[in-house]
Structure 1
């Protein structure tokens, strides 16, 4: 793109880093500290250059159907200029990149790979960090920065309406919601930027690179065998028998244990004798089938469609006539919508010409 001579006269010692054509001869040139808006010769005006400083307090945009207004708020006032809506996205990235460099949020040579807006959230993907700003404006001092060196995880959780970008920073997950219609583009930009930063080629490699290394634990070593786990103690050392020497003072040591075992066997035998009756009762109850009312399988309930088809009060000719009327009305409505759209486009074109004339008159041309 050829830079107009009048723009070069306003550059001074600065160089143009990027420019965006606005159509016809109009162009916006961005330097490290300013935005130069060039307007070509118009109906009532000569060519002109307006200069806007990017060292600002707040930065915002106002989007219309065909025009987008950029608003720069300074300590001592506010400046604005308007561009076609189709050029707004690319210009927004260039302007916000210069603003972040001036504020020291990104490096002096660092570039932005993507800028996204979701309601009151602005998400800026830079080469070395992710910047998140929440507020009614696109940019002001209220923002958060996540350096890629501190990122230890990246995941995406898709929902019915929005997708959550889960960015783990310093062991803590940071969740960012993106509408599902914009989420794939955000995901692709963020993954590609992180892959480039870490010099990998896929999301799987990136996740492996970001995953923190786990420190070895005691479980990772060799487990001791049962014999070694008991240490120097054998089965016969340090363990007292369950039955002491004086347990069978009136007889042999095992007499008490034998009598207890016999009592247990007798109790179990009694339980087994009572169990069959209980089991049989439950089995008898389980085999009972619930009584169901008899149904006539040969007389199924008529469906709504069959009832409608056999209803003598509905005339097929009336249904066909109604369908023809609906088709005719549909054509009329579509035609009216087309005429309304053409009328709206004509009004917008007329409004643009009026705005251009007013703008030129304000500049005294």
Structure 2
């Protein structure tokens, strides 16, 4: 797009990295440090350009019938500007990219590939990570980041009203629900970014690649460490008792002859282990079902509150 002279004067030593036209002569331009909103001369206003630095602390978006208003909160107050609703997504993507790059939350050359907003959740997909923000505001410093180099699995669970994105990071699954009408775009954007990052061409290849990376890591004893929250099935005391029992069976007091251990000390232990594993599995499944039911109830309450019920 053509850069107005007033914008060139405002730039100083900076360069425009991206721009979004708003119709007529109006436009939004993005430099490495700020957003420049240009308004052409009209019947009721003069030509002007306003600057909005990327170091805002909070961003809120209000959507109207035809226009979308961006409210940026700074340490010394808040500032606002509006754009046509059809241009809001493009402006938001560039606005968040500039803010994230300026705060070093993403790399200097790392671009945003997609921004998705539904209910009180905002997702930002970049070339190197997935960022998630929860809350009534669109964005502030309270967000979570999931780097692609730590991803160990990706899956999608489709439902009637929403699709769950299951992103496993360092072996821990993170479930994110996307409404069905946006799920396809979320899936496409996230897959393409992850595929490009790991240099693969399919979901199966991606999971095989990240699983292979996990297998190359040093063995930590099967994950039953002090922080696992699961007690070892065999304690040190059990080991001592088993050793003594085995020694007694091998060297009984009758004539010094060797006796084979009873196959029944072994079958009983295996059966006990199988029962314990079955109980743990059942408990985990029941807990997962309760969590999903609670999530559905919370989503219903949020929808009803938004409708003024």
Same fold (TM over 0.5): yes
Distance 1:47 1:76 in 2: 26
How many angstroms does 1:46 deviate by? 2.2
The answer for the alignment partner of 1:173 in structure 2 is 173
TM-score, normalization: structure 2?
0.69
SS at match of 1:211: helix
1:75-86 correspondence to structure 2 within 5 Å: 75-86=75-86
Question: 2:107, 2:62 → 1: CA distance?
Answer: 28
Q: Does 1:158 align with 2:163?
A: no
Unaligned runs of 5+ in 2: 220-256, 261-309
Q: 2:205 aligns to what? A: 205
Q: CA deviation at 1:65?
A: 1.4
SS of equivalent to 1:146: strand
For the aligned residue pairs, the C-alpha RMSD in angstroms reads 1.8
Which residue is equivalent to 1:223? none
Name the SS for the 1:19 alignment partner.
strand
2:130 maps to 130
Match of 2:103 in 1: 103
Give the secondary structure class of the aligned counterpart of 1:160: coil
Cα deviation code 1:77-124 (max 9, x no counterpart): 000011100000011000000000111110111100000011111100
What does 1:1-365 correspond to in 2, within 5 Å? Answer: 1-212=1-212, 214=215, 238=258
| 2:156 aligned counterpart, secondary structure | strand
Shift of residue 154 of structure 1? Answer: 0.1
Structure (1 or 2) with the greater strand fraction: 2
Task: Point out the structure with max Rg over C-alpha.
Answer: 1
Structure 1 residues 239 and 55: CA distance shift in structure 2, 3 A: closer
- Quote how far apart the aligned CAs of 1:210 are: 1.5
Secondary structure at 1:72 match in 2: strand
Distance between the aligned counterparts of 2:123 and 2:215, measured in 1?
Answer: 31
Q: Deviations over 1:187-212 (max 9, x none)?
A: 01101100000111111111111114
Runs of 4 or more above 3 Å deviation: 212-215, 237-240
2-side partners of 1:110 and 1:239: how far apart? 70
1:352 corresponds to = none
* Deviation at residue 238 of structure 1 after TM alignment: 4.9
Offset from partner CA, 1:286-306 (integer Å, 9 cap, x none): xxxxxxxxxxxxxxxxxxxxx
Q: How many residues align?
A: 221
Q: Which residue of 2 aligns with 1:319?
A: none
Structure 1 position 239, deviation (Å): 6.1
Unaligned runs of 5+ in 1: 218-236, 241-365
For residues 215 and 142 of structure 2, the distance between their equivalents in structure 1, rounded to whole angstroms, comes to 35
- Provide the TM-score with structure 1 as the length reference: 0.58
